């Protein structure tokens, strides 16, 4: 099994290009199922979750072409949904990636039936999909859960309806939004997620002929259309990858510019980095963080749906607080079990106390390298960050979690001067 070894101590310096957003490209790939012709997607990051999604679409019968060198637009992928012949998302694929549930809405809306294995719990929490199911039922779907599968059917077209989500759910909003795009009449989705990835999905659907309005607000209006045509879409930059590099720069006292980013999707993160003492300059598609060799100051934060502080940046800021000046308090409100990095950070010498959904972190002068284990994607990122400032070598096991969501992380960090490498064994 592959591992990452990080030798701490180098201040990061230089420029790094941000890849397309994982959590945008996954729903967008699933949305291609709704179209009547090929959909070309650019700025597709090379990630394990993208490969899994392509595999799933292929299994359903879609044609997939990967274009490694779409000039100036990053990697491209063309999905031709006209050959789809199956509506079953099998357990083997869904269990490796929960986002597979995103084929439920499109398959149901376009092909009249979908069978998607129930995702089940995962490392960071129980993560039910009841809102996906209730939302699709509100549009007239007939849904049962049997033998571990969500089985959905419709009689005639789905019917536009008003649906109020019980809680803010990102993929739940995406599933219902995709189905509503092809429904008869207008749907109104209330208490919808406002994440930038929802806006990107709506932009993609609108490029294919949908009429979605107010995506990015808590009330999305979707006048349904009869069909969507083929087309193209450029995926938005990954705000979590962007934030991870900025935290790396802040922790190491360095100066890093992230290129091809979307600063307007990162307000809460940039605000916390400024509180940590970083000098930040923002241009249209770049952010420069200059720490000037200073030690960061501890920050308090509470995760919440966008535009508040993202849960996907919680572990990285925990790593920052571990070596910051002062005591930082982190409240996790989205997932019930998203503190698994705590015990690994403690192996590096961090001083963290957890009380329920709250972690209290007293910054130490120095972490010391040790073998640690990645438990989920963002937890893995926090261990790499901690390794960048720990004295000696930190060896991170189970890095397949990282490959699910960070494109070329160690190459990008090496380019900024980090001493990091991947080893086998």
Minimum CB distance to ligand EPU smaller for 5 or for 308: 308
Q: Enumerate the β-bridge partners of residue 337.
A: none
Minimum CB distance to ligand EPU smaller for 324 or for 377: 377
Q: What angle do CA 297, 362, 258 make, to 5 degrees?
A: 40
Which residue among 405, 410, 416, 420 contacts ligand EPU (CB under 6 A)? 405
Minimum CB distance to ligand EPU smaller for 25 or for 390: 25
CA-based end-to-end distance of the chain: 5
Helices (H) and strands (E) in the chain, counts: 14, 23
Site mask, ligand EPU, residues 309-328, x = CB under 6 A?
--xx----------------
Minimum CB distance to ligand EPU smaller for 80 or for 332: 332
Q: What is the dihedral of CA 40, 41, 44, 49, to 10 degrees?
A: -90
Q: Beta strands 149-153 and 88-89: pairing type?
A: unpaired
Q: How far apart are CA 373 and CA 178, in angstroms?
A: 37
Which residue among 28, 50, 116, 129 contacts ligand EPU (CB under 6 A)? 129
User: DSSP letters along 206-229, please?
Assistant: HHTT---B-BTBSEEEEE--S-B-
**Sign, CA torsion 32/50/284/222:** positive
Q: What is the enclosing helix (H) or strand (E) of 175?
A: helix 170-181
Query: What does residue 49 show for φ and ψ, rounded to 5 degrees?
Result: -65, -30
Helix, strand, or coil (residue 153) = strand
Q: Enumerate the β-bridge partners of residue 76.
A: 42, 67
Minimum CB distance to ligand EPU smaller for 194 or for 372: 194
Minimum CB distance to ligand EPU smaller for 74 or for 405: 405
Please say whether the beta carbons of 375 and 123 come within 8 A. yes
Q: How far apart are CA 60 and CA 83, in angstroms?
A: 9
Q: To the nearest whole angstrom, how small is the minimum distance from the Cβ of residue 382 to ligand EPU?
A: 12
Spacing of C-alpha 6 from chain mean position: 24
Q: How far apart are CA 59 and CA 178, in angstroms?
A: 20
Taking CB under 6 A as the binding criterion, the range among 151-159, 167-175, 259-267, 292-300 that sits at the site for ligand EPU is 167-175
Taking CB under 6 A as the binding criterion, the range among 21-29, 31-39, 107-115, 278-286 that sits at the site for ligand EPU is 21-29
Using CB under 6 A as the binding rule, the residues of this chain from 358 to 397 that contact ligand EPU are 377-378
Q: What DSSP character marks residue 137?
A: H
Binding to ligand EPU by residue 341, rule CB under 6 A? no
Q: What is the enclosing helix (H) or strand (E) of 75?
A: strand 74-80
Minimum CB distance to ligand EPU smaller for 129 or for 269: 129
Taking CB under 6 A as the binding criterion, the range among 19-27, 106-114, 203-211, 321-329 that sits at the site for ligand EPU is 19-27
> With CB under 6 A, what is the number of residues at the site for ligand EPU?
23
Site mask, ligand EPU, residues 108-127, x = CB under 6 A?
-----------------x-x
Q: To the nearest whole angstrom, how small is the minimum distance from the Cβ of residue 144 to ligand EPU?
A: 16
Q: Is 122 a catalytic residue?
A: yes
Which residue among 317, 335, 339, 406 contacts ligand EPU (CB under 6 A)? 335
Please say whether the beta carbons of 360 and 299 come within 8 A. no
Q: Which of 122, 204, 260, 322 is catalytic?
A: 122
Which residue among 32, 42, 169, 314 contacts ligand EPU (CB under 6 A)? 169
Minimum CB distance to ligand EPU smaller for 231 or for 405: 405
Which residue among 167, 279, 293, 423 contacts ligand EPU (CB under 6 A)? 167
Taking CB under 6 A as the binding criterion, the range among 61-69, 164-172, 209-217, 357-365 that sits at the site for ligand EPU is 164-172
Using CB under 6 A as the binding rule, the residues of this chain from 66 to 105 that contact ligand EPU are 99
Which residue among 63, 112, 120, 128 contacts ligand EPU (CB under 6 A)? 128
Task: Please confirm whether the linkage preceding 307 is cis (ω < 30° from 0).
Answer: yes
Using CB under 6 A as the binding rule, the residues of this chain from 272 to 291 that contact ligand EPU are none
Residues belonging to the chain: 425
Q: To the nearest whole angstrom, how small is the minimum distance from the Cβ of residue 309 to ligand EPU?
A: 11
Q: Beta strands 39-42 and 74-80: pairing type?
A: antiparallel
Q: How far apart are CA 215 and CA 211, in angstroms?
A: 11
What are the strands, taking DSSP E only, across 241-286? 255-259, 279-282
Q: To the nearest whole angstrom, how small is the minimum distance from the Cβ of residue 425 to ligand EPU?
A: 27
Q: Which residues bind ligand EPU (CB under 6 A)?
A: 22-23, 26, 99, 125, 127-132, 167, 169-172, 311-312, 334-335, 377-378, 405
Q: Which residues are catalytic?
A: 122
């Amino acid at each position: 099994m592959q591992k990452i070894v990080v030798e701490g101590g180098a201040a990061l310096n230089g420029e790094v290009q941000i890849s397309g957003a994982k959590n945008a490209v996954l729903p967008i790939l699933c949305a291609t199922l709704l179209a009547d012709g090929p959909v070309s997607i650019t700025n597709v990051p090379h990630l394990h979750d993208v490969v899994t999604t392509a595999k799933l679409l292929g299994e359903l019968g879609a044609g997939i072409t990967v274009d490694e060198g779409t000039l100036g637009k990053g990697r491209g992928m063309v999905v031709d949904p006209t050959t789809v012949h199956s509506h079953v998302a099998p357990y083997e694929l869904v269990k490796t990636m929960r986002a597979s549930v995103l084929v439920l809405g499109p398959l149901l809306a376009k092909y009249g039936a979908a069978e998607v294995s129930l995702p089940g719990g995962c490392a960071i929490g129980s993560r039910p999909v009841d809102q996906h199911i209730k939302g699709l039922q509100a549009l007239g779907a007939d849904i049962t859960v049997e033998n571990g599968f969500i089985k959905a059917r419709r009689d005639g077209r789905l019917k536009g309806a008003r649906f109020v989500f019980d809680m803010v759910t990102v993929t739940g909003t995406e599933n219902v939004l995709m189905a509503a795009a092809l429904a008869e009449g207008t749907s109104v989705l209330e208490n919808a997620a406002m994440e930038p990835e929802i806006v990107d999905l709506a932009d993609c659907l609108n490029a294919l002929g949908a009429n979605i309005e107010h995506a990015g607000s808590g009330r999305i209006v979707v006048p349904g259309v009869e069909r969507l045509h083929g087309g193209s879409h450029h995926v938005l930059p990954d705000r979590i990858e962007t934030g991870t590099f900025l935290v790396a720069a802040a922790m190491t006292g360095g100066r890093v510019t992230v290129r091809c980013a979307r600063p307007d999707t990162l307000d809460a993160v940039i605000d916390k980095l400024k509180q940590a003492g970083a000098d930040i300059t923002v241009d249209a598609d770049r952010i420069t963080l200059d720490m000037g060799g200073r030690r960061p100051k501890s920050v308090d934060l509470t995760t919440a749906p966008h535009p508040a502080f993202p849960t996907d940046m919680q572990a990285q800021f925990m790593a920052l607080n571990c070596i910051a000046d002062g005591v930082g308090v982190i409240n996790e409100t989205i997932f019930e079990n998203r503190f698994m990095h705590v015990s690994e950070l403690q192996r590096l010498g961090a001083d963290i106390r957890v009380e329920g959904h709250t972690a209290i972190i007293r910054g130490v002068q120095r972490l010391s390298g040790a073998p640690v284990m990645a438990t989920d994607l963002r937890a893995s990122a926090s261990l790499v960050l901690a390794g960048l400032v720990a004295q000696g070598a930190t060896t991170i096991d189970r890095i397949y979690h990282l490959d699910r969501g960070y494109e070329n992380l160690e190459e990008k960090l090496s380019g900024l001067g980090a001493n990091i490498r991947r080893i086998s064994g």
